[in-house]
Amino acid sequence: MKLKSAGIIGIGSYLPEKIMTNKDLEQIVDTNDEWIRTRTGIEKRRIATTQEATSDLSLEASKKALESANIQAEDLDLVIVATITPDMSFPSTACIVQDKLGAKNAGAFDLTAACSGFIYGISIAKQFVEAGVYKNILVVGAETMTKILDWKDRNTCVLFGDGAGAVVISTVEEDEGIKNVTLGSDGSGGSVLNKPAGGSRMPVTHEALENRMNYLKMDGSEVFKFAVRKMAAETKKVLEEANVDIEDIDMIIPHQANIRIIEGAAKRLKVGLDKMHINLNEYGNMSAASIPVALDEAYRKGKIKKKDKIVLVGFGAGLTWGASYIKWSI
Ligand code: ACO
């Protein structure tokens, strides 16, 4: 059986209106604009209101992706939402989006791979489309990270922001589309980045709340070392599998956690920062939303054109990582 080629036929993103600058953070924790900018590159981030949940951000990004793909919600066969900040444990955020969107012919599920979630999501969509099982799949990366941050912990609360990005994946011309995807994980590193309470291991009890265990915890320097190494290695790996030279790549969309991580990876790959689309100064680390939001921005700014060769590469809690080589199809 001849496989079809799966590719992105529509893309959209949504960011909450409220902006929190580094100066604003100075009022909340013992930090300063200079420290945050020089150590991370982040200048501001978007913050969801108390009324806005991850499904709300997902919905807006999804509507734009459907419009860009020029298809209706009824045409969707599957909705995948990659997130570590679902509206609630269950039902899935994907089911909430499926309902609000009116995707009445679609299956729906959430996917947990933290900042690598969007790449994991497109890898699943690629298989279904190429095998001819489904035609149109919506993949969303969405987070309201600010809802799980400990606003008393300056080590973490300055780093993250909220947002959502979505793509529709369908059949495209044979020489275009999502050509290769690599995925990886190392669960032994789970404790360097996690949210301990709220699951079956540590339900939300008074004690858990008193110990602030319902917030994101991170060993920043461990994640940093792992991230620089993995971003470069995974980019090389996916390009090797695709038999493409890094010199032929038009744009790399890296996960947006820290400018120093991106610089470190660029150095290892021997590419200039002009080949990397960077927007973490504006939005901080939006976990699973970072890559699709950056991809949408690069596309809308005309930095990515049809048939361009691009790489998506990310890492995150799990630990997880992944990369994708794509020949842009819109
Ligand atoms: N403002 C001022 N000072 C601070 C702040 C802050 N916001 N945060 C930490 N500091 C202090 C520390 O307390 C420390 O002080 P000390 O030396 O007196 O103890 C000092 O600054 C240096 O801290 P380091 O941790 O050494 O700073 P570093 O240069 O390593 O940067 C950072 C920390 C930004 C967290 C970095 O390690 C990093 O970016 N790590 C990767 C994080 C990441 O990518 N996480 C997301 C993963 S994706 C996902 O799945 C969600």
Output the six-digit token pair for 3.
């496989």
Minimum-distance ligand 1 atom for the alpha carbon of 227: 44
pTM of structure: 0.97
For ligand 1, whether the C-beta of 115 sits within 6 Å is yes
Question: What's the 303 CA to ligand 1 centre distance in angstroms?
Answer: 31
CA angle 175, 178, 180 (to 5 degrees): 100
pLDDT of residue 103: 98
Q: Would residue 143 count as lying in a domain?
A: yes
Q: Is residue 189 part of a domain?
A: yes
Q: Which of 95, 115, 136, 194 is catalytic?
A: 115
Q: Which atom of ligand 1 is nearest to the CA of 260?
A: 39
* 226 shares a domain with 119: no
CB 39 near ligand 1, within 6 Å: yes
Q: Residue 190 belongs to a domain with what CATH number?
A: 3.40.47.10
Residues 187 and 58 in one domain: no
The reply to whether omega before 91 is within 30° of 0 (cis) is yes
**Centre of ligand 1 from the C-alpha of residue 220, in Å:** 5
Structural domain ending residue among the three candidates 141, 175, 209: 175
100 lines ligand 1 (CB under 6 A): no
Rounded Cα–Cα distance for residues 124 and 119 (Å): 9
Angle of the 220-242 helix axis to the 259-269 helix axis, nearest 10? 40
| Total domains in the fold of the chain | 2
Confirm if 272 and 266 have CB atoms less than 8 A apart: yes
pLDDT of residue 213: 98
Distance CA 142, CA 26 (A): 27
- The burial class, CB within 10 Å (0-12 / 13-18 / 19+), for 247 is exposed
Whole-number Å distance, alpha carbon 111 to ligand 1 midpoint, is 27
Catalytic residue flag (residue 115)? yes
Single out the residue of 105, 101, 82, 102 nearest to residue 92, CA to CA: 82
CB atoms within 10 A of CB 37: 14
Same domain, 155 and 194: no
Is the same domain home to 214 and 258? yes
Ligand 1 pocket: which of 39, 143, 225, 320 to mutate (most atoms <8 Å of CB)? 39
Tell me: do 121 and 267 sit in the same domain: no
| Same domain as 190, residue 171 | no
Any domain includes 70: yes
pLDDT at 118: 98
- Lookup result for tokens 């990004």: 61
Instruction: Confirm whether 1 is domain-assigned.
Output: no
pLDDT for the residue numbered 25: 98
pLDDT of res. 4: 81
Active site residue 277: no
Longest dimension (CA), the chain: 61
User: Is there a single domain that holds both residue 159 and residue 183?
Assistant: no
Which ligand 1 atom sits closest to the C-alpha of 155?
Answer: 8
- Is residue 325 within 8 A of residue 311, CB to CB? The reply is yes
- For the Cβ of 227 lying below 6 angstroms from any atom of ligand 1, the answer is yes
Final residue belonging to a domain, choices 175, 195, 212: 175
- Tell how many helices (H) and how many strands (E) occur in the chain: 11, 13
Active site residue 255: yes
Query: Is residue 51 within 8 Å of 17, Cβ to Cβ?
Result: no
Of 277, 272, 220, 270, residue with least CA distance to 251:
277
**What is the chain's pLDDT, residue by residue, as a tens digit (330 residues)?**
556 899 999 999 999 999 999 999 999 999 999 999 999 999 999 999 999 999 999 999 999 999 999 999 999 999 999 999 999 999 999 999 999 999 999 999 999 999 999 999 999 999 999 999 999 999 999 999 999 999 999 999 999 999 999 999 999 999 999 999 999 999 999 999 999 999 999 999 999 999 999 999 999 999 999 999 999 999 999 999 999 999 999 999 999 999 999 999 999 999 999 999 999 999 999 999 999 999 999 999 999 999 999 999 999 999 999 999 999 999
Q: Is the CB of 155 under 6 A from ligand 1?
A: yes
Q: What is the pLDDT at residue 190? A: 97
Domain containing 188: what range?
Answer: 179-327
In a domain, 258, yes or no: yes
Together in a domain, 195 and 296:
yes
Helix, strand, or coil here: 85? Answer: coil
Mutate to test the pocket of ligand 1, among 224, 259, 321 (most ligand atoms within 8 A of CB): 224
Residues 6+ apart with CB under 8 A from 4: 129, 130, 132, 171, 174
The active-site residue, picked from 22, 136, 255, 258, is 255
Cα–Cα dist 124/178, whole Å:
11
- Cα–Cα distances in Å, from 61 out to 29, 54, 56, 68, 293? 31, 11, 9, 11, 9
Contact 249, 219 (CB under 8 A): no
Residues 23 and 123 in one domain: yes
One domain, residues 20 and 123: yes
Does one domain contain both 306 and 229? yes
Residues 11 and 155 in one domain: yes
In a domain, 19, yes or no: yes
The residue among 175, 205, 220 that closes a domain is 175
- Among protein residues, the one with the nearest Cα to ligand 1's atom 19 is 155
The pLDDT value recorded for residue 1 is: 53
